[in-house]
Amino acid sequence: MSHLDDLVGLARAERTFDADRAAGLRSGTLVRAKQRARRRLLVRRAGAAIIAGAFVGLILLRGASAPGAPSSEGIGAASVELRPEHDSTSSVASAGSREGEAFAERSAAAHDAELAAIAIGDGGYARD
């Protein structure tokens, strides 16, 4: 029999955890079990609240794009309708077009005068 076997025999015979001590731990065990059950319940409730919140958020997002709600196309149309009165770019363009017309009228009048002068010249030459 080796020294190790002797020590193993001693270890087996040793009183390591007596009945009184084990009994003393019993109530503590039950308290821990309750604490753990309570903690688990809280975690479950928190999880359920998160899932419910996400679900409600999803419904609200879908509701915003429902047929009765103002759509992006309607908003676009409104902006198109408003544009001629409020868009500064278009008013600049229309002012420019008015000036262009006046210029065209002036050019046409000058051109007519030039043609008339030429006709007079030609007439003169023809007369000559």
Binding site for another protein (CB under 8 A): 2-4, 6-8, 10-12, 14, 16-19, 21-23, 25-26, 28-29, 32-33, 36
Angle 57-63-65 (CA atoms, 0-180°, nearest 5)? Answer: 115
Minimum separation from the CB atom of position 9 to another protein (A): 9
CB of 13 to another protein, least distance (A): 9
CB 48 within 8 A of CB 41: no
Nearer to another protein, 20 or 128 (CB): 20
Cα separation, 81 vs 69, whole angstroms: 20
**CA–CA dist 79, 70 (Å, integer):** 13
Q: Which is nearer to another protein, 32 or 111 (CB)?
A: 32
The smaller minimum CB distance to another protein, of residues 16 and 72, is found at: 16
Smallest distance from the beta carbon of 30 to another protein, in angstroms? Answer: 8
- The amino acid at 40: R
13 φ/ψ angles, rounded to the nearest 5 degrees: -80, -15
